[in-house]
Amino acid sequence: MSPQLPAFGRRSVPAANDAAPTPQIPESGPIVSASAAAAVTSGVPSDVIADLRAICLGRLDPTAVSNMSTDQLSTDLERLISEIATERRIQLNSREQRALAAELVFDILGLGPLETLLENDSISEIMVNGPHKVFIERAGRLVISKVRFRDTEHLTSICQRIASAVGRRIDESSPMADARLKDGSRVNIVFPPLALDGPYLSIRKFSRKIIDFQRLIEFGALTQPVSQILQLAAKARLNVIISGGTGSG
């Protein structure tokens, strides 16, 4: 008889009488990045991964999942993936199971493959032109990223999650929306028919490091006398007009 694993955030499903015992999975390590997860599972046929993903999501209880921590959800998903892989005789090692679980966690609780880019402090802007073209701005240079969405539906789901989090609606009848992420990063979303190659998404990230006058002087953005004038103007509560590129203010 197969040992019964705790349900956690899963919906109760009847166990098959002839189900094989569930293999033991090594204790979960740190959650890997979205891009690393995709790289690990790239050796598994895409249709197999798609089936596993759909079955896992179908067995999860949304109410229970919303109250779970990231680590708890990741552990539960690994066990669930192991069960499904055993039931369907799918060859997945523990590393691939952990990677797929991490990918699902990013999709369920985060912003999917964008999580890796959002965690990278060297990236100042993210621009998505459809599911297969993701550009990033790093040190003032625009380059294409290796990050990809699975398809248009995947990107659409992420965009709608961002918009709904701030009480906005985004669809074909209302194809443009501005929003902000929890960290204050500014978001602009454009949907078809205005967007030609699938949804467009841009995220202007806010630096986590506070830029003070000393750092501005080190960057060569201003001189010591100018910084003194600005400080005096602020103390005197004078109006100051700041102009320049995006983020100058």
Final residue belonging to a domain, choices 41, 74, 109:
109
Q: Choose between 83 and 188: higher pLDDT.
A: 188
C-alpha–C-alpha distance, residues 228 and 101, integer Å = 53
Final residue belonging to a domain, choices 109, 133, 162:
109
- Same domain flag for 77 and 4: yes
Mean pLDDT, rounded, for 99-121? 85
> Would the pLDDT of 191 be above 90?
yes
The pLDDT value given to residue 31: 45
The pLDDT value given to residue 16: 41
Mean pLDDT, rounded, for 61-66? 75
Mean pLDDT, rounded, for 69-86? 82
The pLDDT value given to residue 45: 66
Indicate the burial class of 211 (C-beta count within 10 angstroms; 0-12, 13-18, 19 or more): exposed
Q: Choose between 245 and 64: higher pLDDT.
A: 64
- Same domain flag for 15 and 93: yes
pTM for the model stands at 0.63
- Same domain flag for 25 and 74: yes
> Would the pLDDT of 174 be above 60?
yes
The pLDDT value given to residue 23: 34
- Same domain flag for 5 and 32: yes
C-alpha closest to that of 16 among 97, 92, 88, 91: 88
The pLDDT value given to residue 143: 93
Q: What is the CATH number of the domain that holds 183?
A: 3.30.450.90
The pLDDT value given to residue 220: 82
- The mean of the pLDDT values for the chain is 78
The pLDDT value given to residue 1: 45
Token code pair at residue 56: 């896992």
Question: Mean pLDDT: which of 7-11, 176-180, 208-212 is highest?
Answer: 176-180
- Same domain flag for 139 and 74: no
Asked if residue 191 lies in contact with residue 168, where contact means CB atoms within 8 angstroms, the answer is no
The pLDDT value given to residue 178: 93
> Would the pLDDT of 196 be above 90?
no
C-alpha–C-alpha distance, residues 133 and 61, integer Å = 33
Domain residue limits at 144:
114-204
> Would the pLDDT of 2 be above 80?
no
Asked if residue 9 lies in contact with residue 73, where contact means CB atoms within 8 angstroms, the answer is yes
User: Which tens digits make up the pLDDT trace of 23-51?
Assistant: 333 333 444 455 455 555 555 667 777 77
In total, how many domains does the chain have?
A: 3
Q: Choose between 90 and 20: higher pLDDT.
A: 90
> Would the pLDDT of 179 be above 90?
yes
Final residue belonging to a domain, choices 84, 109, 134:
109
> Would the pLDDT of 130 be above 90?
yes
213: confidence class by pLDDT, cuts 50, 70, 90: confident
C-alpha–C-alpha distance, residues 197 and 204, integer Å = 21
Q: Which residues, 6+ apart, have CB-to-CB distance to 29 below 8 Å? A: 98
